[in-house]
């Protein structure tokens, strides 16, 4: 057994033991209940929501594909999958999206599914889910579908976080 197959076997045992949360590198750490730390904001609280933004998932696109928010705002994203296939909705900076995409490709190759995280939700056809996020820094963020091939085919969105407040 080489190093890679040992790592794969370890990952599989961990996933099979339940409570699986995958590691997204430097930006987050969701393993074993440790508080996640994100470079681009923080999970929002339902009681603090400033406004709701509805997002519809189509075959390989989001509608709308760009949203504008203000620093300090807490947004409730209400996401509906109106397409006949599964999609992911991940909020993050470019680095986080790329890491998540690579991680998801690995997991899908191993036959695993992806559980929801504070900044990422997976929706089956017809499903509706909410994700509440507090945007704490101005800048450009993204919301991408990181199922292999989807973002690459245009299933991406931009979040413009203005400096106000
Ligand atoms: Cu997708």
C-alpha of residue 163 to centroid of ligand 1, in Å? 30
Residue list, CB under 5 A from ion ligand 1: 87, 145, 147, 150, 155
H/E stretch holding 43 reads strand 42-43
Give me ligand 1 centre to Cα 98, in Å.
14
pLDDT at 164 over 90: no
Distance in Å, CA 151 to ligand 1 centroid: 7
pLDDT, average across residues 97-102: 95
Ligand 1 centre to CA of 1 (Å) is 35
Pair 28, 51: CB distance under 8 Å: no
14 CA from centroid of ligand 1 (Å): 26
Q: To 5 degrees, how large is the angle CA 130–CA 131–CA 136?
A: 150
Pair of tokens at residue 111: 């036959």
C-alpha 78 to ligand 1 mean position (Å): 16
Distances, alpha carbon 142 to alpha carbons 5, 32, 51, in Å: 33, 27, 18
| Confidence check: pLDDT of 147 > 70 | yes
Q: According to DSSP H, which parts of the chain are helical?
A: 3-16, 94-109
CA of 165 to the centre of ligand 1 (A): 33
Summary mean pLDDT of the chain? 84
- Domains of the chain as residue ranges with CATH: 41-162 (2.60.40.420)
Q: What is the average pLDDT across 31-55?
A: 87
Give the Å distance between the CA of 123 and the centre of ligand 1: 9
Q: Specify the pairing of strand 128-134 against strand 74-81.
A: antiparallel
As beta bridge partners, residue 81 has 57
Model confidence pLDDT, tens digit, residues 114-135: 789 999 999 999 999 999 999 9
Residues 6+ apart with CB under 8 A from 125: 81, 83, 84, 85, 86
Q: How far is the CA of 87 from the centre of ligand 1 (A)?
A: 4
What is the DSSP pairing of strand 128-134 with strand 62-63?
unpaired
pLDDT of residue 34: 57
Please answer whether residues 60 and 154 qualify as being in contact, where contact means their C-beta atoms are separated by less than 8 angstroms.
yes
Cα 140 from Cα 18, distance rounded (Å): 35
CA of 12 to the centre of ligand 1 (A): 24
The CA distance from 48 to 63, in Å, is 25
């Amino acid at each position: 057994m080489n190093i890679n197959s040992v790592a794969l076997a370890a990952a599989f045992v961990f996933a099979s033991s339940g409570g699986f949360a995958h590691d997204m590198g430097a930006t987050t750490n969701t393993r074993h209940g440790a508080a996640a730390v994100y470079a681009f904001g923080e999970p929002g609280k339902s009681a603090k929501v400033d406004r709701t933004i509805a997002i519809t998932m189509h075959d390989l696109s989001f509608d709308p594909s760009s949203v504008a928010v203000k620093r300090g705002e807490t947004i409730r994203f209400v996401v509906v999958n109106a397409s006949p296939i599964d999609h992911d909705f991940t909020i993050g900076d470019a680095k986080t999206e790329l890491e998540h995409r690579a991680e998801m490709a690995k997991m899908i190759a191993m036959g695993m599914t992806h559980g929801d995280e504070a900044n990422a939700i997976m929706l089956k056809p017809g499903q509706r889910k909410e994700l509440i996020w507090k945007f704490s820094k101005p800048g450009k963020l993204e919301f991408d579908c990181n199922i292999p091939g989807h973002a690459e085919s245009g299933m991406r969105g931009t979040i413009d976080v203005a400096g106000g407040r």
